[in-house]
Amino acid sequence: MSPAPARPGASGVRRPVPSAVAFCPCPPLLVPAVAGRAAEDTAGLRAACSTALDALLAARPEVVVVVGAGGRYGPGDGGDLRGFGVDLAVPFAGPVRADGRRTPLAHTVGAWLLEQAGYAGPRLGVGPDDLGDALADLPGPVGVLAVGDGSARRSLKAPGHLDDAAAPFDDAVAAALAAGDAAALAALDAAEGARLLAAGVPTWRAVGALLAGRAVTGRLHAHEAPFGVGYLVADWVVR
């Protein structure tokens, strides 16, 4: 597949865009080794992520860019889930080097999801603010794996306790993902997202800003909050 043509921005500079995007959350319990006996509780969420990643990889990207809270990561970097009770190392891109950078949770879980999907090609990890610049440096068709959770204030037992605004906020994100509405993602209220502990908002806003004005077909695969945290899974095909 040829890369989608770049769209000129306000400055007249043509911006490269991905051909497909998968949106996935990053709870450690998504990984069966961490979930243990509770793995069945996240089986549906894993299946939804698998579906979204299958759609992303069907676009045959030459590089997958993993976007989440953190900096730039690449070959030699990696993370682990030892802080969650399991001795599980997760290389980000190829074997971990002694001088490699440690990936944060979003990129660690993102790398694990790509491994589960069978993707062994080149990948780059970036933070939300770095997404546009990163894509400008990459040749060929590019896929984006956008990693982040919804509000952590969805129930009384949630990490941030219950906030009545949390569910409607996540509902609006889900509606934008289902509709392929990049402008709605770009317009998410960053301050309200931070107040509601919705860690995925910076990533969603960055993807939305990148694709605003593009024709996008969206599919929502999961919208749930089993542990009081919003988990949303979707895929976008960009035309």
14-15 vs 7-8, strand pairing mode: antiparallel
Residue 102 per-residue DSSP state: B
* CATH class held by domain 18-238: alpha beta
pLDDT tens digit sequence for 185-195? 999 999 999 99
Low-confidence ranges of the chain (pLDDT < 70): 1-15
Per the document, the length of the chain is 239
The pLDDT assigned to 2 comes to 37
Q: What tokens appear for 200 in the block? A: 């995925």
* Domain regions of the chain by residue span: 18-238
Q: How far is CA 70 from CA 1, 43, 46, 231, in A?
A: 30, 27, 23, 19
Tokens of 96: 């971990």
pLDDT in tens, 109-166: 999 999 999 999 999 999 999 999 999 989 889 999 999 999 999 999 999 999 999 9
pTM equals 0.93
Percentage helix, strand, coil for the chain under 3-state DSSP, each rounded to 5: 40, 20, 40
The pair of three-digit structure tokens given for residue 13, joined into one six-digit string: 């500079």
DSSP 61: -
